[in-house]
Amino acid sequence: MGFKHIDRYRKETELKNLKLPHLKNIISFIEKKAKVGYTVVYGSVRGGADEVWGDAETYYGKDARKKMNYKHYAKELKRREL
């Protein structure tokens, strides 16, 4: 079992089972986000409202592609187009 794509509904799909147009759209999305910025927001709550924290980080270029697992999608597309 290899890398799995997780969609917005949290459904996992192996990359080999994605349809080719969907795979290409994912790659285009990652490339677009790498240019304009990919923001990750995270936080936590411990106890009550006074123990809430959060932060956001924006990634660009190589860092954004790495965060979004670009290499796995590109490798699958290359495998299919051979």
Q: Is the pLDDT of residue 62 over 90?
A: yes
Among residues 72, 42, 77, 36, the alpha carbon closest in space to that of 57 is found at 42
**Is residue 3 domain-resident?**
no
Q: Which residue segment(s) compose the domain that 16 sits in? A: 12-81
Residue with more model confidence, 57 or 48: 57
Give a yes or no: residue 27 inside a domain.
yes
pLDDT at 1 over 70: no
**Residue 71: inside a domain, yes or no?**
yes
Q: Which residue has the tokens 């924290």?
A: 53
Task: Kindly report the average pLDDT of the chain as a whole number.
Answer: 93
The total number of structural domains in the chain stands at: 1
Mean pLDDT, range 43-56, rounded to an integer: 85
Question: What DSSP letter does each residue of 1-67 carry, written as one string?
Answer: ---EEE-TT--EEEGGGS-HHHHHHHHHHHHHHHHH-EEEEEEEE-SSGGGEEEEEEEE-HHHHHHH
Does the predicted model carry a pTM greater than 0.85? no
Pairwise CA distance, residues 13 & 16, whole Å: 8
The pLDDT value given to residue 60: 97
Residue 59: inside a domain = yes
What is the number of residues in the chain?
82
Of residues 31 and 45, more confidently modeled: 31
Decide if 76 is inside a domain.
yes
Cα 61-24-10 angle, rounded to 5 deg: 85
The pLDDT tens digits for 9-30 are 999 999 999 999 999 999 999 9
Residue 40 lies in a domain: yes
